[in-house]
Structure formats: structure tokens, C-alpha cells
Amino acid sequence: MIDIKIWWIWFAIAAFFIIAEIFTMGFFLLWFGVGAAVAGILAILGLGVGWQLGSFVVLSIILFAVSRSFAERVTKKQPPGVGADRFVHKRGVVIEEIDNIKNTGRVRIGKDEWRADSEDDKVIPVGKTVEVTSVDGTHLVVKPKEEEK
């Protein structure tokens, strides 16, 4: 029979969850890492597998539930018109041809220059006036502005 110390497994699980938290958004996996670490400590202290599993599940759920309300208060959505959203419905000028297939395109709005994507996947030439319809990450999504007569 292989003599594997169960506390090693718990600490490996804890390390996995804590490292995985770094690569995710939402502050979710950390609490499972903490629960696994506590279960590992209980294993070192000699408590049975039932206690270890129970503490892992209960502690992870409690920490997750408590942190959700805290995280929602701290990470409120920014109001409209703040950050890049302030450019929605603004007009700009194309300074690099916008072509979604080639992944090219830049617009200037005032003194700011932004990467841009075409709303309807049509190519928009340099010099064309555009209107920002939304923001997608670090790109403005634009559509050609109809010339007023």
C-alpha cells in the first residue's frame, strides 16, 4: 500500500485554487483554497477524513457567501459616462482604416486616439466621420456617421 500523507493532497488542492484565483475574475476560487488549507491542517492534527471534508465544504461555502456581499459593495459598476463609456455617442474621425478582418482601425475623438472596430463589419476608410456605439474592452465600436446635408 502506498503511504501518501493526505495533508499533502489538501495543500496541493489549496495551492491549485489559490493560483487559479490569480487567473480568474470575481474573487471566487480563493475561498476553496483557504478551505483546503484548513482541511490540510486538520489532517496534520490527526482528525479524520470526515472532519477534513466537512471543514473544507462548510468553510469554503461560508467564506464565499460572506465575501459575495462585500465584493458587490466594493466593486460597484461605474456609472454611465465614466471611463471609456464617456465616448459612447461621440463622433470621431478614422485615422487608420477600420477593417475587422485585418484587425486594423484607429479613431481620434478630440485629443484621444482609440483602437476601433466596425459595428457592422464593413470597412471604414480614413477620414470618415464615425459615431461610437459601444465600448468592447479597449476598442471602440463605431459606425459611419451619415453626412448631414
Q: What average pLDDT does this structure show over 43-70?
A: 90
Least confident span in 14-18, 22-26, 74-78, 91-95: 74-78
Residue 1 confidence (pLDDT): 37
Where do the domains of the chain lie?
Answer: 6-74, 83-144
* Cβ–Cβ under 8 Å, residues 29 and 67: no
**What DSSP line would sit under 55-108, residue for residue?**
HHHHHHHHHHHHHHHHHHHHTPPPPTTSGGGGGTT-EEEEEEEEETTTTEEEEE
For the stretch 81-103, pLDDT in tens is 556 678 888 999 999 999 999 99
pLDDT of residue 94: 96
What percentage of the chain has pLDDT greater than the value 70?
A: 85
Residue 74 pLDDT exceeds 80: no
pTM beyond 0.85: no
Per-residue pLDDT of 88-144, as tens digits, reads 889 999 999 999 999 999 999 988 899 999 999 899 999 999 999 998 888 899 999
Residues linked to residue 106 through DSSP beta bridges, in sequence order: 96, 115
Looking at residue 78, its pLDDT comes to: 56
Asked if CATH classification 1.10.10.410 holds for the domain at 83-144, the reply, yes or no, is no
